[in-house]
């Protein structure tokens, strides 16, 4: 996802907060899942940590794309949290998958 209008539309949708991330999501008109990320300096001051978190999120989203098909998702990192491990992020994305399934029904 790119562009302020797309992000604003998703931010007006449903919200799911986990320990390290906040997910915003809505249904979209295409048959694919789209991901947007907002990982700021306040959440992770070091660029290395921000980029590592973004790589992990993209990888997990890519592997779960069949589950989140037809939804736009924006992930926002919470401020003052440590960098989550890969397994922790997977667990948080599983919560997202359950919420998306409830949205589809």
Domains defined for the chain, CATH in brackets: 4-104 (3.30.230.10)
Query: Which pLDDT value is given to residue 74?
Result: 92
Residue 74 half-sphere exposure toward CB, CA atoms < 13 A: 21
Query: Which pLDDT value is given to residue 60?
Result: 92
* CB 46, CB 40: distance < 8 Å: no
Q: Is the pLDDT at 51 greater than 80, yes or no? A: yes
In the block, which residue shows the tokens 């991901």? Answer: 35
Query: Which pLDDT value is given to residue 32?
Result: 85
Query: Which pLDDT value is given to residue 41?
Result: 92
Query: Which pLDDT value is given to residue 87?
Result: 92
pLDDT by residue (tens digit) across 53-88? 999 999 999 988 777 888 899 999 998 888 999 999
């Amino acid at each position: 996802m790119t562009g302020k209008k797309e992000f604003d539309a998703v931010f007006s949708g449903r919200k799911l907060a986990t320990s390290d991330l906040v997910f915003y999501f809505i249904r979209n008109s295409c048959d694919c899942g789209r991901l947007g990320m907002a990982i700021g300096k306040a959440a992770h001051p070091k660029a290395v940590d921000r980029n590592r978190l973004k790589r992990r999120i993209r990888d997990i989203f890519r592997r779960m794309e069949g589950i989140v098909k037809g939804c736009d998702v924006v992930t926002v990192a919470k401020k003052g949290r440590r960098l989550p491990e890969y397994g922790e992020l997977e667990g948080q994305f599983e919560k997202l998958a359950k919420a998306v399934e409830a949205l589809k029904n």
